Homo-oligomer: A and B are copies of this chain.
Amino acid sequence: MAKLIKDGTVSLDTCPTVSAFAAAVGKKEGEGPLSGCFDYIAEDVTLGESSWEKSESKLQQIALGTALSKGGFSEKNIDVIFAGDLLNQCVSSSYGARDTHIPFMGLFGACSTMAEGLCLASVFVDSGAAVNAAAVTSSHFCSAERQFRLPVNYGGQRTPTAQWTATAAGCAVISPHGKPPYVRAVTIGKIKDMGITDANNMGAAMAAAAYDTISRHLSNTNQSIDDFDLILTGDLGKVGRDILIELFKKDNVDMTEKHNDCGIMLYDIEKQDVHAGGSGCGCSASVLCGHILKEIQEGRLNKVLFAATGALMSPTIVQQGESIPGISHAVELSGK
C-alpha cells in the first residue's frame, strides 16, 4: 500500500499497472514525428464541433472512450476519473465527462495535469480507494490561444521562446494487477517561482519546478539518473530543457543524454514552426499515452521518470505584474 517515503515522495508497494491508455490528437500533431503512435488523429481542429471548447471536450471524450475500449472496460469498471485542463474553470474536462456516470474529481495543474492525475489515480488504486482509476487531460491550440494570448485570426507574431499549445488529449487507466507498465512511486510537486514575468517563456518558468521534483524523487528513492532509461519532462521545450540541464550541471549531473521533453518530441520543431516546442496539458499526455507507455510495454524502455510541468498563472495575474510559478509532479514508470 501507499507509503510516504518523505518530502512528497510516495512509494506504491502493490505496483499498480497502467492497464489501458490512449491518445487523440489534432491534424498538426498527427503530422509530427510521433504520427504513427496515436489512436486518433482529427481531420481538422474543429472535430465537427461549434466551438473550440467543445472540440477540446470531444478530444478528451475520444481519449477516454478509446482507452476504456482498448482495456476492455465499460464505464462501470472505472471508479473515478481525475481530469483537468487549461481552460477557465476546466470546462473541457467537466463537459467532456458530463455524459459519463463515473465519479469525477477535477484537477488544475496546468500542463502538469497528466502527472497529477496519474499520482492520484495510482495512490487511489494502491490504497484500495479505487479498483480502476482514470487520468485524463487535454489542450487545444485555438481555445488556449484565444484565452491566454490573442484570437487565432489576429495572426499575432510569436516570440522565439513561445511554445505551441498542442491540440491533443491522453487517458491512462490505473489498475491493481496486470502486465507492465507499473507505477512504482510518485513525487508530488512544490510550487517554484523563478521570477519570470514573460508569459511567452513558460519553459523558463517551469524548469526550476522540474529540477526540484526530479531531484527530490531521485534523492528520496535513493536512485540516480543512471537507474533510469529516460527522464521525461512535459513541455519545457528547448528553452526550459537547456535551463534544466544547467541546473543539474551544478549538482555534477549530466542530464543531456538521459533527458527528453514531450514538448520537443511531439513536433518537428523546425519544420512545423513551433518555436521552442509544444506545450499544453495534452502535449505530455499524448506523448506519454501515445508513445512512451507503449515503449515500456513492449520492452524498448524499462524505467522512465515522467515529470510533467505546469505554469500556474492566469492572464489576469500576469497583467498585474506577477511572476509565473511552476509545478512538476513525477511518476516513476517501470517495465519490470
User: Chain A: residues with CB nearer than 8 A to chain B?
Assistant: 1-4, 7-8, 10, 50-51, 53-54, 79-80, 84, 86-91, 93-95, 97-98, 100-110, 116, 119-120, 123-124, 126-131, 147, 187-191, 193, 312-317, 320, 322, 325, 327, 329
The answer to whether B191 touches A97 (Cβ under 8 A) is yes
Given the complex, which residues of B lie within 8 Å of A128, measured CB to CB? 1-4, 127
Say whether, besides A2-B128, A128-B4, A108 and B90 are in contact (CB < 8 Å).
yes
Closest to A100 in B: B191
**CA of A88 to CA of B315 in the docked complex: distance in angstroms?**
9
Say whether, besides A88-B314, A103-B8, A103-B189, A50 and B320 are in contact (CB < 8 Å).
yes
Closest to A143 in B: B316
The answer to whether A80 touches B188 (Cβ under 8 A) is yes
**CA of A98 to CA of B208 in the docked complex: distance in angstroms?**
13
**CA of A45 to CA of B182 in the docked complex: distance in angstroms?**
49
The answer to whether A91 touches B313 (Cβ under 8 A) is yes
Closest to A113 in B: B106
The answer to whether A94 touches B325 (Cβ under 8 A) is yes
Q: Among the listed B7, B89, B188, which residue makes an inter-chain contact with A312, where contact means beta carbons less than 8 Å apart?
A: B89
The answer to whether B126 touches A95 (Cβ under 8 A) is no
**CA of A89 to CA of B111 in the docked complex: distance in angstroms?**
11
Given the complex, which residues of B lie within 8 Å of A320, measured CB to CB? 50-51, 53-54
Q: Among the listed B87, B104, B327, which residue makes an inter-chain contact with A190, where contact means beta carbons less than 8 Å apart?
A: B104
The answer to whether A98 touches B325 (Cβ under 8 A) is yes
Say whether, besides A98-B193, A101-B190, A193-B98, A91 and B317 are in contact (CB < 8 Å).
yes
Q: Among the listed B91, B110, B130, which residue makes an inter-chain contact with A4, where contact means beta carbons less than 8 Å apart?
A: B130
The answer to whether B190 touches A102 (Cβ under 8 A) is yes
The distance from the CB of A246 to the nearest CB of chain B, in whole angstroms, is: 22
**CA of A194 to CA of B13 in the docked complex: distance in angstroms?**
42
The answer to whether B7 touches A103 (Cβ under 8 A) is yes
Say whether, besides A94-B312, A127-B129, A103 and B1 are in contact (CB < 8 Å).
no
Given the complex, which residues of B lie within 8 Å of A120, measured CB to CB? 105, 120
Given the complex, which residues of B lie within 8 Å of A193, measured CB to CB? 98
Given the complex, which residues of B lie within 8 Å of A109, measured CB to CB? 105-106
**CA of A91 to CA of B310 in the docked complex: distance in angstroms?**
13
Closest to A317 in B: B91
**CA of A53 to CA of B91 in the docked complex: distance in angstroms?**
21
**CA of A110 to CA of B105 in the docked complex: distance in angstroms?**
11
The distance from the CB of A259 to the nearest CB of chain B, in whole angstroms, is: 23
